[in-house]
Amino acid sequence: MRGPRGRRGGGPKGWWERGRALGETRPLAVDLGIALLVQAAVTMPFVVPRPPGLEPATWAAYGVTTLSVLPLVWRRRAPLAVLLAILAATGLYGLAMAGPGQPLPYAGLVIVHTIAASSPPAKRLAAGVLMLAAVPAGVWLNTRSARELSFSLFVFAAAYVFGRLTDTRRRADRIEAEQAVARERARLAREMHDILSHAVSLMLVQAEAGPLAVRAAPDRAEAAFEAISETGRDAMAQLRRMLGVLREGDGPAHSPRAPQPGMAEVPALLDRVRASGLAVTYRTAGTAVPLPDATGTTVFRVLQEALTNTVRHADARLVSVRLVHGDGELCVEVSDDGRGPRPGAAGGGHGLAGIRERAAAHGGTARTGPGPDGRGFAVRVRIPVAPAAPVALAAPATSPAPAIPVPSPAEVPR
């Protein structure tokens, strides 16, 4: 059983976060609560017995004190008007009432903090001018001492500074949230690109090969059309998985969510590429270690994009996939015997940029360029992997599948 410290949202930080959330959803309730707290604070001098020789506190003085607190309920909607109302009520109390004094100008501190945290520069400047005039006047009506003047200026300046810090923190939180949204949009765009580009490329190749296969080898044509159907179903399943995550809050809490594809789905990926008529070999080296889910998904997407580029652009007959498990890292190599990089094409398209971004997200690197001996095209990705217990890997080299006649696709820069 968890103790008090293990409870979710416990401690001052938890209370602060809950208060911020309540302030965003129900600001009027928060303002009412703040006004009640200030009212409780200003009430204390009225209930504490006064020293002999001083006039007793009156209900009239208490009523004027309440008038200086009540405007705080509207502090967000009209902060300058609330400040003027508080100054007027405080001035009336000092001029016409002989009630007890307050250790701190609570209502004034709250509204100064609010103006500093939420108002534009023009309103902040106006509030500053008002306070520079009102604070010395209030001290003159009270004790006329330099000590009280310096203390009052200090506490109001501190309230203003804390208000500006609150505004700075809000801006930083808002910028961080916007950046998080932008990163999530970029991630979803990469996922959509990888899924659709891979599926559509394979389906187009199979569809173009179908008519030739119907005349030359009907059984292969049937296999080609089945491969189109299987590729489409797999793409739809991945898209549903992604959209299901986006709509997670709309469905029941127990709705099943299939995991993102990982290392276990690599053989099926290679089989789909083989079905397009491209010969694929798959080899591994080193001692395999369990990969985190995010790393496994990254390896799958890197392979998916590299193979898609080969199918679309390389005009290759053979592609080699190699995973090298090293000391604290995993190297992914995909090379083909196709036409290689087009002269003058720099950087590549969205797919290769996505590979680099995925590798960088894990602290790794990605290199693309000519294959071994300058032939074909190669993608080499290095991803750091945390040490873990070794596991058996069943991924022997696979012989190429029989190729279906495929027309050469149009050359497109990578």
Q: What is the model's pLDDT at position 330?
A: 92
* Confidence at 156, pLDDT banded by 50, 70, 90: very high
Tell me the mean pLDDT in the region 259-287: 85
Tell me the mean pLDDT in the region 180-193: 78
Say if residue 73's pLDDT is above 90: yes
**Of 13, 23, 136, whose CA–CA distance to 75 is shortest?**
23
Q: What is the model's pLDDT at position 282?
A: 93
Q: What is the model's pLDDT at position 353?
A: 81
**Of 221, 366, 372, whose CA–CA distance to 301 is shortest?**
366
Q: Which residue has the higher pLDDT, 259 or 187?
A: 187
* Confidence at 26, pLDDT banded by 50, 70, 90: confident
| Cβ contact 145:139 at 8 Å | yes
Q: What is the model's pLDDT at position 252?
A: 47
Pairing of strands 377-384, 329-336: antiparallel
Q: What is the pLDDT of residues 40-70, one digit of tens each?
A: 999 998 888 877 777 778 888 899 999 999 9
Q: What mean pLDDT is reported for the chain? A: 79
Q: What is the model's pLDDT at position 120?
A: 93
d(CA 157, CA 131): 10
Say whether pTM exceeds 0.85.
no
What domains are defined for the chain? 10-144 (no CATH), 183-248+257-384 (3.30.565.10)
Lowest mean pLDDT among 88-92, 187-191, 299-303, 397-401: 397-401
Q: What percent of the chain has pLDDT over 70?
A: 76
* Confidence at 391, pLDDT banded by 50, 70, 90: very low
Q: Which residue has the higher pLDDT, 213 or 160?
A: 160
Q: What is the pLDDT of residues 284-330, one digit of tens each?
A: 998 888 888 888 888 988 898 888 888 877 788 899 999 999 888 89
Q: What is the model's pLDDT at position 321?
A: 93
Tell me the mean pLDDT in the region 170-176: 89
d(CA 281, CA 300): 16
Tell me the mean pLDDT in the region 217-239: 71
Give backbone dihedrals phi and psi of 123, rounded to 5 degrees, phi first. -70, -35
Rounded to 5°, the CA angle 197-345-357 comes to: 50
In a 13 Å sphere around the CA of 405, the CA atoms on its Cβ side amount to 11
Q: Among the ranges 150-164, 286-300, 332-346, which has the highest mean pLDDT value?
A: 150-164
Lowest mean pLDDT among 218-227, 348-357, 397-406: 397-406
